[in-house]
Structure 1
Amino acid sequence: MTVLALVVAALFVGVVLVGVGDRLRLPWPVLLVLVGTAAAFVPGIDAPDLDPELILPLFLPPLLFATAQRASWSVFRARWRAVLFLAVLLVAVTVAAVGATVTWLIPGIALGSALAVGAAVAPPDPVAVEAVAGPLRMPRRLVGVLQSEGLFNDATALVVFQAAIAATVAGEQPGAETGLLLVWSAVGAVGVGLAAAWLAGQLADRLTDPVAPSALTLVLPFAVYLAADAVEASGVIAVVVAALQMRQRADADDVEQRLTGSAFWNVVEMLVTAAAFALIGLELRAVIEDAGDQLGRMVADAAVVAVVVIAVRAVWMLGALVSVRRRGSPPGTAPRTVAEAAVLTWSGMRGLATLALALALPRVTDDGSPFPFRTELVIIAAGVLVATLVLPGLTLPVLLRVLGVRESEEVGRAAERRLVVRARQAALTELAALDREALGVDDTVGEEVLGELRARFARLGVGEGGTGEAPGDDAADRADYEQRLETLRRRRDQWMRVQSLALAAARREVLAARSEAGVDPEIVDRVLQRLDVRSLASG
């Protein structure tokens, strides 16, 4: 089977699995892992020869960009402690713990190789977390913490991974320069991301085709990732920063572009994930064949590492609970209870980044010899992925129900109603302040006339067919009909102008709320989408 046929088949299977997951109420990333793993054992399907150096640049940038667009700067300003505590410190501790465990399990392995697999299994995946936890009514406070962690922990893991691989390939030991590299990686990436977002924004403002900006955003994450990599900065952080900044500069009047872009990126995220899991899953066949009769021992080692990964996260979350209780519970902090600590522990799902990093291990070192213990390291990473994604993905609903950590639907609806009230008030304020004479609106009795216009417009519709009975043959009847028709047209035009201003004011208010602390970006995007659809329909 050709690579093209494999990709098409993977995309088709991914679409089907999303539908199956919705019907069975199972997370589709879990189904993708199971089906991708099963495909590795199907005879006649040959895995494509993927260059390890291309795996990360191909799959990570679009997935990170898609996920980051659903967050906001205000979320990270409110949760910077959680980002530092989970995305940096927890990753570093997990890398050290896994590295020590692997060194104990595999006598003779180089420290760099052990740390490399530690970096591969350390970061939870934001796409997997959102797909699994989102539909389960997990409190948005917990989901927000997991998303914030997932967007930045790849950066820490990737820096450690690259430093460990470079040392192993060169036959050296990782040194203290890794810390300096991490600092520059973050600082340089922020600069690259901000610059790229500014340039992309300038270009997008000059594009008139509504599809072109979406195409630009598809190219942008790859370009940003490569630009950051060229200056030895973190491509992960650069892509996330670019996505957040592009979302921050959104214009309230970009209705069509926003609707098109949202649908476009939902499709991209699903298809890229499906293709990645399928193609990378097929790569495991060669690894399993290389393992031979040692496969059982390697899987046992993977189980030990998975237990260590989960145990480290559990201890860390208990420490976070103590810290939160000691300094109080500001809005958005988590965990606040032992039950929430257990949920956050069990939600540390590894995903595409773990498998991609493992398969990105080079096949040979600088002297041409095989990379030491590569096969076992890949199997360990794959085992940790299965243990932390498949098991939690299937059991998290039960855990949430047993522990009582579920958010009432009324909480989300109440937050949405508050935002809708703000949008409505902004629209009414705009209507009260508009200059009717300048707009050509000849009704001057304020909200009573606007209410009448609403009622008449609803009865008449937006077409020109709702104008009453057709005129008779009498000239007087025809003249009366033409007069009534002209009045209705004028009323409709007036209402369209007024409604357009009101909806624009409502959109501006909702977008402003997206930058405020404590406001859930998901709820903002939901309300904004409804306003955009109404604006487009009435335009």
Structure 2
Amino acid sequence: MTVLLLVVAALLVGIVLVGVGDRLRLPWPVLLVLVGAAAAFVPGIDAPDLSPELILPLFLPPLLFATAQRASWSVFRARWRAVLFLAVLLVAVTIAAVGATVVWLIPGIALGAALAVGAAVAPPDPVAVEAVAGPLRMPRRLVSVLQSEGLFNDALALVVFQAAIAAVVSGERPGFATALGLLWAGVGAVAVGLAAAWLARQLADRLSDPVAPSALTLVLPFAVYLAADALEASGVIAVVVAALQTRQHTDADDVLARLTGGAFWNVVEMLVTAAAFALIGLELRAVVADAGAALGGMVADAAVVAVVVVLVRAIWMLGALVAVRSRGGGDIVAPLDLREVAVLTWSGMRGLATLALALALPRVTADGAPFPFRTELVIIAAGVLVATLVLPGLTLPLLLRALGVRESEDVGRAAEQRLAGRARRAALAELASLDREALGLDDAVSEEVLGELRARYARLGVADGGGGTTPGEDAADRPDHDQRLAVLRRRREQWGRLSSVALAAARREVLTARGEPGTDPEVADRVLQRLDLRSAPLP
């Protein structure tokens, strides 16, 4: 079976599983893991020979870029303590705890190899978290913290992973140069991400085809990742920074690019995840075959490591709760009570990055010897993924219901209404201050249409402001046919022009609000999408 046929089959299966998950109310990443694991043992399906060096740059950049576009800089400014506490410190503690556990479980293993598998299993996956937690009405405050954690935790994990692998492969011990490399990995990555976003914006401004900017954003994450990697900076941080910066500078009038880009990246995220889980899952067949009779013991070790990972996260979240209460506020991390501690602990789902890092372990060292304990390390990482993704993915709805940690639909609806009301006021202010003479609105028909449009926005709100029948149909009752048609055309022309001006002001206001710390980016994106749909020109 050719690689192309495998990829096409994986994409089709992924699409079907998304539909099955919606019907059965099961998260599709969980279904992908189960089906991918089962497919790895179907006779006649040969795994493609994926080079370990290709796994990370092939699958990680588009998934990180897609997820980061749904966040905003304002979220990180408001949650920087949570990002530091969870995406940096918790990852470092998890790496150390897992490394120590692996050294204890596998006598004779090099510390670098143990830390490498610790780095692989330390970071929760933002794609898995969003796919599982999003539809469950988990409070947005908790979801936003999990997303913020998931976007940046891969960076530290990947840097530690690469340093640990270099130590094992070359035999060199990490030292001061490693610490400097860690510092450069962050600083250099931010510079690469900002520069790439600026260059992409300059190029996009010169592209007239509305599809071309979406194609540019598909190439951008790969280019950014490879450029950062060539400079020995963190490709993960560079991709996230580029995505956030690109989203930050969205043009309010770029309606078609935003609509096509949003739909495009939803499709890319689903298909890349499906293909990655399928192809990487098939790679596990060779690993399981290499394990042979020792597979049972390796799975037992994986179970021990999974328990350590969950316990470390639980203890860390309890510490976060103590910190929040001691400061008398929730500005450090999210958990405000023990129920939220349990939810955040159980939501630390590992995903594609864990499996990709594990399979990115080199097969041989610099002197040509087999990489020590590679098979067992991959089995441990796969076991942690199953324990932290499949089990929570299937049981998180029950946990949320049992603990009563679910957000009412009225909360999200109220947030949308507040933002829509703000956009409506911006539209009304624009209609009140526009220059009628400059826009050619200096006749009685224009004044009449302007009054009707103001009344409609004031009465219905911006989300529905463009709906209904366009004023002018009542002209059909007038006796003179030519005059009737002229008035009708004039009214429709002025309605479209004025409505376009009002909607543009509303879009600008929503984008401004999206960059403010108190605004949930997801709520802003939903309101903005409705405005874009009202603003999109008909073919």
TM over 0.5: yes
What is aligned with 2:129? Answer: 129
CA displacement at 1:534 relative to structure 2: 0.2
What is aligned with 1:521? Answer: 521
Measured against aligned partners, the alpha-carbon deviations of 1:331-353 in whole angstroms (never above 9, x if no partner) come to 68411111101110000000000
What is aligned with 1:395? Answer: 395
- Residue 87 of structure 2 aligns to a residue whose secondary structure is helix
What is aligned with 2:255? Answer: 255
Work out the CA distance in 1 between the residues paired with 2:250 and 2:449.
33
What is aligned with 2:271? Answer: 271
Distance 1:261 1:527, change over 3 A: same
What is aligned with 1:44? Answer: 44
CA displacement at 1:537 relative to structure 2: 4.9
Measured against aligned partners, the alpha-carbon deviations of 1:76-125 in whole angstroms (never above 9, x if no partner) come to 00111111111111111101100000001000000100000000000000
Distance 1:526 1:460, change over 3 A: closer
1:442 aligns with 2:442: yes
> Aligned ranges for residues 144-183 of structure 1 at < 5 Å?
144-183=144-183
Distance 1:450 1:46, change over 3 A: same
> Aligned ranges for residues 427-466 of structure 1 at < 5 Å?
427-443=427-443, 449-452=449-452, 461=470
Distance 1:332 1:447, change over 3 A: farther
Aligned-partner residue type, residue 126 of structure 2: P
> After TM superposition, which residue ranges in structure 1, 4 or more long, deviate above 2 angstroms?
171-180, 330-333, 442-455, 457-462, 464-469
> Aligned ranges for residues 69-148 of structure 1 at < 5 Å?
69-148=69-148
What is aligned with 1:474? Answer: none
> Aligned ranges for residues 5-404 of structure 1 at < 5 Å?
5-330=5-330, 333-404=333-404
Measured against aligned partners, the alpha-carbon deviations of 1:452-475 in whole angstroms (never above 9, x if no partner) come to 4688x977659x999738x9xxxx
TM-score normalized with structure 2 length: 0.95
Work out the CA distance in 1 between the residues paired with 2:511 and 2:444.
31
Residues 324 and 331 of structure 2 are in contact (CA less than 8 Å); yes or no, is this contact kept in structure 1? no
Aligned-partner residue type, residue 395 of structure 2: T
CA displacement at 1:172 relative to structure 2: 3.2
Work out the CA distance in 1 between the residues paired with 2:411 and 2:354.
34
Work out the CA distance in 2 between the residues paired with 1:267 and 1:99.
37
Work out the CA distance in 1 between the residues paired with 2:180 and 2:27.
39
Work out the CA distance in 1 between the residues paired with 2:410 and 2:38.
41
Measured against aligned partners, the alpha-carbon deviations of 1:182-238 in whole angstroms (never above 9, x if no partner) come to 211000000000000000000000000000000000000000000000110000000
Residues 123 and 354 of structure 2 are in contact (CA less than 8 Å); yes or no, is this contact kept in structure 1? yes
Residues 95 and 119 of structure 2 are in contact (CA less than 8 Å); yes or no, is this contact kept in structure 1? yes
Residues 331 and 518 of structure 1 are in contact (CA less than 8 Å); yes or no, is this contact kept in structure 2? no
Distance 1:288 1:435, change over 3 A: same
CA displacement at 1:180 relative to structure 2: 2.2
CA displacement at 1:2 relative to structure 2: 0.4
Work out the CA distance in 1 between the residues paired with 2:428 and 2:264.
33
Measured against aligned partners, the alpha-carbon deviations of 1:255-286 in whole angstroms (never above 9, x if no partner) come to 00000000000000000000000000000000
Aligned-partner residue type, residue 226 of structure 2: L
Distance 1:384 1:458, change over 3 A: closer
Distance 1:459 1:110, change over 3 A: closer
What is aligned with 1:468? Answer: 476
Residues 129 and 348 of structure 2 are in contact (CA less than 8 Å); yes or no, is this contact kept in structure 1? yes
CA displacement at 1:312 relative to structure 2: 0.4
Residues 141 and 333 of structure 1 are in contact (CA less than 8 Å); yes or no, is this contact kept in structure 2? no
Aligned-partner residue type, residue 188 of structure 1: G
- Residue 33 of structure 1 aligns to a residue whose secondary structure is helix
Distance 1:105 1:176, change over 3 A: farther
Work out the CA distance in 1 between the residues paired with 2:109 and 2:467.
74
TM-score normalized with structure 1 length: 0.95
Residues 111 and 173 of structure 1 are in contact (CA less than 8 Å); yes or no, is this contact kept in structure 2? no
Work out the CA distance in 2 between the residues paired with 1:171 and 1:65.
34
Distance 1:49 1:515, change over 3 A: same
CA displacement at 1:446 relative to structure 2: 9.3
Distance 1:482 1:84, change over 3 A: same
Work out the CA distance in 2 between the residues paired with 1:42 and 1:465.
65
CA displacement at 1:171 relative to structure 2: 2.2
Measured against aligned partners, the alpha-carbon deviations of 1:469-510 in whole angstroms (never above 9, x if no partner) come to 8x9xxxxx7xx2111101110111111111000000000000
CA displacement at 1:450 relative to structure 2: 2.7
- Residue 440 of structure 1 aligns to a residue whose secondary structure is coil
What is aligned with 2:531? Answer: 531
Aligned-partner residue type, residue 442 of structure 2: D
Work out the CA distance in 2 between the residues paired with 1:148 and 1:353.
16
Work out the CA distance in 1 between the residues paired with 2:474 and 2:55.
59
Residues 496 and 538 of structure 1 are in contact (CA less than 8 Å); yes or no, is this contact kept in structure 2? no
Distance 1:46 1:444, change over 3 A: same
Work out the CA distance in 1 between the residues paired with 2:50 and 2:508.
46
Q: What root-mean-square deviation, in Å, do the aligned CA atoms of Structure 1 and Structure 2 show?
A: 1.9
Distance 1:405 1:447, change over 3 A: farther
Work out the CA distance in 1 between the residues paired with 2:157 and 2:450.
58
Residues 56 and 356 of structure 1 are in contact (CA less than 8 Å); yes or no, is this contact kept in structure 2? yes
Residues 436 and 444 of structure 1 are in contact (CA less than 8 Å); yes or no, is this contact kept in structure 2? no
Unpaired runs of 5+ in structure 1?
A: 472-476
Number of equivalences: 529
Work out the CA distance in 1 between the residues paired with 2:91 and 2:19.
34
Residues 96 and 118 of structure 1 are in contact (CA less than 8 Å); yes or no, is this contact kept in structure 2? yes
Aligned-partner residue type, residue 358 of structure 2: A
Distance 1:444 1:319, change over 3 A: farther
Work out the CA distance in 2 between the residues paired with 1:24 and 1:273.
20
Q: Which moved more, 1:512-521 or 1:328-337?
A: 328-337
Aligned-pair identity in percent equals 81
- Residue 273 of structure 1 aligns to a residue whose secondary structure is helix
- Residue 309 of structure 1 aligns to a residue whose secondary structure is helix
Measured against aligned partners, the alpha-carbon deviations of 1:366-407 in whole angstroms (never above 9, x if no partner) come to 000110100000000000000000000000001111111111
Residues 169 and 365 of structure 2 are in contact (CA less than 8 Å); yes or no, is this contact kept in structure 1? yes
Work out the CA distance in 1 between the residues paired with 2:211 and 2:387.
41
CA displacement at 1:252 relative to structure 2: 0.3
